[in-house]
Structure 1
Amino acid sequence: MRYIRFLKTPRIVRQKGSSKTNISCLITITSDLGDSFLPYDLTLAVELLHVSEENDEENLVVWKTTQWLGGMRSLAITLPIGKSHRAWPLRIRVGADPKAKFDELESLLQNDDFRGVVSAWSGLVDPTNGIDVAERFVQRRFEAGAHLPLHINEETGESIARHLWDAGILLACRIGKLIRDCRHDGLVPLQDGHKRLQVVELGTGCGIVGLTLAKIIPSSDVVLTDLPEASEIVQRNLEGSRSTLQGTAQFKELDWESDLPDPLSINPTTCQHCRQMDIVVAADCTYNADSSPVLVSTIQKIVETSPRALIIIAMKRRHTSEEIFFDFMSKAGFKTADVQKFPLPGDENAGEEEVEIYMYQHKGENRNEVPRSAQCDSEAREELYNLP
């Protein structure tokens, strides 16, 4: 896939000696790692949107098309603002699909005109409140289920920990069906109807996979984990998504070379049954072969207390050194329960690259679920039957 990114976020530009005012920005269209640019021509829709401060509803103020030409590394965009304009704040949306409210993975895959390019929504510009330059964030919007698009911010800077990557986006868009299928096949070990689904995400980055899970699966508790440098962007996305979550989510700092945070589960109960992890998920975490030993070690630590946990790993292979991850998983006693492969939008055709999703379970003999405590079982039944 390719991503529209703001090299310079939208800003107010007032022309000297004139009453004319513009909003301008500088974009590029690049890969998730930012190491290559879209090599083909593409017509882009550029839209100036007024955002209601009451309900965040967006209304189109002005729009135009502009052309990205193969060989470009950047593209300057300017939109005029009438001198009598009074409706603030404003944001800019740039995308291949005109007036789209969000991106759909299937459309990116199937529509050749879109070239697999992910749209960008800027931060707000509001000179009435002293905001002449939008924050250095870009918002992505994806239809990932639950009838409400997931809004995820990523930074415009160079930190790979605070950007979205291909495998994470694809897993987020597929995770709902994946979990339903795993439940049907018995891979998600929920022995009764009371236990909330406990999920931990490793290397969450911007939080797209974990937040999607908490958004689309009721009675789920999701722990998003990553290094401290990811904390700010995850918290930003967590706060922006909280009102639409059907489950719960929180962020915990976790260095794979350190001990697990205590408690790993956000469930406050002391019942060991309820604190067991049902799912461990990680996307785009195998690209650095040097981190594979500590990644697998961290998964092992979780499985020591949650032996029946399903491990879901999503990856887009970038080099052969990533094969070492599979060796470490095998040596650690994990068996492959299922493998699924999904094509990615390509510059010319879908399927030039793909995301692989591996599901593992531990081969250990001691995989019995811890029994629920009497107190917690009583509380669960009260919740089930809606008793006071």
Structure 2
Amino acid sequence: MRYVRFLKPPRLVVDKGSKPQISCLITITSDLGDSFLPYDVELAAELLSLHQTEEIVVWRTVQWKAGMRSLPITFPLTKNLKAQKFRLRVGGEPKSTYDDYGKMSGEATCGVVSVWSQEFSPSEATAAAKLVDRCFNLMDGHVICISEETGESIARHLWDAGITLSCHISELLKGGSPLAEALLPTSRPNQLRILELGTGCGMVGMTLAHLIADTNVLLTDLPEAQEIVEHNISQTKLAKGSTLKFQTLDWDEDLPQDLRSSRSPLHLVVAADCTYNADSSPALVQTLKRLCNVSPQARVAIAMKMRHSSEEVFFDLMAGAEFIKLTTLEYPLPGDVEIGEETVFLHVYQYKPSI
């Protein structure tokens, strides 16, 4: 998948001798930002008025060309629009209020994730905040919008495996689906308890709490992720009887006291996009082992896109820590030209310590 990103968020530009205009600078990159889309693609750029309901007031088509690293976009600003508040959306499908993973995976479709700016006002002559939204259709009637930062911190960005897993979580609601059989207990408890490691912006855990009733979801990460996660939690509509919280958890330290109690065991521990840095894998595996010593029946689900061979050490460490792989599910990623150019793997484990 590729992501539209604001290199410069939308703002009012008034050059001497020229009419005022809204201006921004975008790029289209991979989730890590380490490569640019190498193909031509047509994008819809839409200025959304927030005067009453969110509606498109100015729009245009822009062309990303192979070899580009950035693309400026401008809109003329008429007098009647100066006092309004706006958001700017740039994406592949015109007039869309969300991205649909299924449609992005279709034939002859480029898998480009749209971006929505934060609110800004030309009358205040300030740029939009350095947060953007990504919105995804999870299933009929369920759309989730997640904010991420526009800066360089990869801890506060959305990544391929997290989005892919989130966009398939609705399969947990289908009894007998491969995902449900892999992740859920055979006998459904009254309250399902799930912990996410390395939550980043929180999309996977938030999707679980949004779609699955009677589920307690705890999102964990380092302190630098707390602000963006708590912002996203505040925007998340929860399923009936479900809860969603954040707690700091450092893999290099002992578990917090509340996670050491076996009176409220976990049923599922999930992590997405957490194995890209092989140096952190030993700490990740030790944290998984500590959690499963307290909750030995918990399933462990690790979603990952293999980026380099050094990530293979994770599997050796899991085997050495006495985790047994139960199954691996594969999800082809929307590609630059066709689906399946890359794959997200969901590896599911059970802790089976020797006696």
TM score, norm. by length of structure 1: 0.86
Tell me how far apart the structure 2 counterparts of residues 68 and 235 of structure 1 sit (CA, whole Å). Answer: 34
**Aligned to 1:91, which of 87, 98, 101?**
87
Q: Is the 8 A contact 2:211 2:238 kept in 1?
A: no
Matched, 1:159 2:148: no
CA contact (8 A) 1:145 1:216 kept: no
Work out whether residues 107 and 338 of structure 2, in 8 Å CA contact, stay in contact via their aligned partners in 1. no
Displacement, 1:328? 0.8
CA-to-aligned-CA distance 1:85-141 (integer Å, 9 cap, x gap): 26621010001111111001111111424x11000000111245x362100111100
Which residue number in structure 2 is paired with residue 9 of structure 1? 9
* CA 192–137 in structure 1, closer or farther in 2 if over 3 Å, else same: closer
- Could you tell me which residue of structure 2 aligns to residue 41 of structure 1? 40
Tell me the SS of whatever aligns to 1:303: helix
Alignment of 1:274-285 (within 5 A): 275-285=264-274
Shift of residue 42, structure 1, vs aligned partner: 0.8
User: Deviation per CA, 1:311-361, whole angstroms, max 9, x where unpaired?
Assistant: 010000011111110111111111111111111112222111100001111
- Which residue in 2 is equivalent to 1:22? 21
Please tell me whether the aligned partners of residues 252 and 261 of structure 1 are also in contact (alpha carbons under 8 angstroms): no
Distance 2:143 2:354 in 1: 42
Q: Give 1 or 2 for the bigger CA radius of gyration.
A: 1
Shift of residue 236, structure 1, vs aligned partner? 1.3
Residues 218 and 131 of structure 1: CA distance in aligned 2, closer, same or farther (over 3 Å): farther
Provide closer, same or farther for how the CA distance between residues 65 and 244 of structure 1 changes in structure 2, counting only shifts above 3 A: farther
5+ long unaligned stretches in structure 1: 367-388
The one-letter amino acid of 1:12's match is: L
Any residues of structure 2 matched to 1:1-388 within 5 Å, and which?
1-17=1-17, 20-52=19-51, 57-85=53-81, 88-113=84-109, 115-128=110-123, 130=124, 132-145=126-139, 147-178=141-172, 180=174, 181=177, 185=181, 188-189=184-185, 191=187, 193-194=189-190, 196-241=191-236, 243-246=237-240, 247-264=242-259, 272-273=262-263, 275-364=264-353
Q: Distance in 2 between matches of 1:326 and 1:44?
A: 40
User: 2: distance between equivalents of 1:3 and 1:346?
Assistant: 11
Indicate how the Cα distance of structure 1 residues 340 and 191 shifts in structure 2: closer, same or farther if over 3 A, else same. Answer: closer
Retained in 2: the 8 A contact 1:223–1:264?
A: no
**SS of the counterpart of 1:189?**
coil
Contact 2:45 2:61 (C-alpha < 8 Å) held by counterparts: yes
Matched residues, number:
352
> Is the CA contact (8 Å cut-off) linking 1:183 and 1:189 kept in structure 2?
no
Root mean square deviation, CA, Å: 2.1
Ranges in structure 2 where 5+ consecutive residues have no aligned partner: none
1:277-310, Cα deviation, whole Å (9 max, x unpaired): 0100000001111111110100011111111001
- Opposite residue 28 of structure 1, the aligned amino acid is T
The 3-state SS of whatever aligns with 1:329 is: helix
How far 1:143 sits from its partner (Å)? 1.0
Distance verdict in 2 for CA 1:186–1:79, change over 3 Å: closer
* Distance in structure 1 (CA, Å) of the matches to 2:2 and 2:267: 33
Helix, strand or coil at the partner of 1:107? helix
- What is the rounded CA distance, in whole Å, between the counterparts of 2:106 and 2:307 in structure 1? 23
Residue by residue over 1:11-45, the C-alpha shift from the partner in whole angstroms, topping out at 9 and shown as x without a partner, is 01224356x32111000000001011011111110
Alpha-carbon deviations, 1:219-242, whole Å to 9, x = none? Answer: 11111111111111111111121x
Report deviation, 1:146: 6.4
Name the CA shift for 1:74/1:218 in 2 (closer, same or farther; >3 Å): same
Amino acid at match of 1:140: R
Contact 2:172/2:180, CA 8 A, preserved across alignment? no
The separation in 1 between residues aligned to 2:258 and 2:247, in whole angstroms, is: 10
Q: 2:31 corresponds to which letter in structure 1?
A: D
CA distance 1:179–1:85, change in 2 (3 Å) = closer
Name the aligned partner's letter for residue 5 of structure 1. R
- Residues in 1 aligned to 2:311 and 2:219: alpha-carbon distance in whole angstroms: 23
Mapped partners of 1:341, 1:186: distance in 2:
12
Q: Secondary structure at 2:235's aligned position in 1?
A: helix
Change (3 A) 1:317 1:179: farther
**Does 70-79 or 339-348 show the bigger shift?**
339-348
Greater than 4 Å deviation, 4+ residue runs: 190-193
Letter aligned with residue 30 of structure 1: T
